[in-house]
Amino acid sequence: MPVNDRLYGVHTSIAGGLERAVEEATALKCTTFQIFLQSPRIWKTREPDIGEIESFKDSLRNAGFRVFFVHCSYLINLISENKQVAEKSLKAFIEEVEISSIIGAKYYVLHLRENRKETLTNQLKALKSVFKFLEHNLDFKGCGILIENSPYGENFSNLLNLAKVYEELKEVSSFLSGICLDTAHLHAYGYNLSERIEDIINDLGSGVSLVKLVHLNDSKSEVGTRMDRHENLGQGSIGRVGLLNFLKLSQFSKTPVILETPKKGLEDDEKNLQVLRELFSQVRNQ
């Protein structure tokens, strides 16, 4: 059910096939959802066959889903100092984006991982080289790429830097489409959502308009610890106050929201979605 005309949902499972994600999202009364294309901790990309893809697309239409998202494998590091990892990452990235395009994903969310031995200038140079290569070799069919803020390091977690990185990469990439903001990652880096929410908008600057997706997550870790440990909404160190402050930001009032909260079963998603709807109601009533 739409809340303030905003798409929202959870990360769903495709165990048993792509259609499973639609079934989960429908059961949870979501209006969008996010998936991995396979286990995010293995290199081998699973390619769905034509029958699975067509069944998935039929399910999307029948359930009324207009938009969904794909999240990259956790292993992908396009500028790893390990040459073998960088090569595997490039191959996996191309395969995942191509499959995301074929199945009709709106956006593919990419983690930018740092090579901490290099300066931001050198990392940008390496990334631009990769994206130039992709521009000429990626079979792109309309699925945009979003870069996600990191909880670690400095170069892709500081929003001043992230906005700069995006603009630099956009110069050589036509398929780069925007930024995904993760609240737990913001918190881990040091953005205090309870006390200084304005820092997010100030640091993004003109990059505010680039935010196309929000991962709304609470955190088990304290602010500024650079530890990425997600918690159920309202039960972590961001808490309801910090999450509400974020959702009240008018700049993101129409931005889709995906939860990546701890999950053992659908009942966990149901509880977190209930908190999200309560937060949405508070925003609407203030």
Domain ranges for the chain: 8-285
Return the residue matching tokens 């292993």. Answer: 75
State the burial class of residue 164 (Cβ atoms within 10 Å of its Cβ: 0-12, 13-18, 19+). middle
Residue 111: other Cβ atoms inside 10 A: 23
Cβ(127)–Cβ(165) below 8 Å: yes
Q: Which residues of 214-228 are buried (b: 16+ CB within 10 A; e: fewer)?
A: bbbbbbbbebebeeb
Residue 181: other Cβ atoms inside 10 A: 26
What's the longest Cα–Cα distance across the chain? 53
Residue 202: other Cβ atoms inside 10 A: 12
pLDDT of residue 4: 53
Q: Residues 121-167: pLDDT tens digits?
A: 999 999 999 999 988 887 667 899 999 999 998 889 999 999 999 99
At 8, give phi and psi (nearest 5°). Answer: -150, 155
pLDDT of residue 2: 45
Judging by DSSP bridges, how do beta strands 34-35 and 69-71 pair with one another?
A: parallel
Q: Residues 164-221: pLDDT tens digits?
A: 999 999 999 999 999 999 999 999 999 999 999 999 999 999 999 999 999 999 999 9
Residue 109, token pair as written in the block: 């969310």
Which fold, 8-285? TIM Barrel (3.20.20)
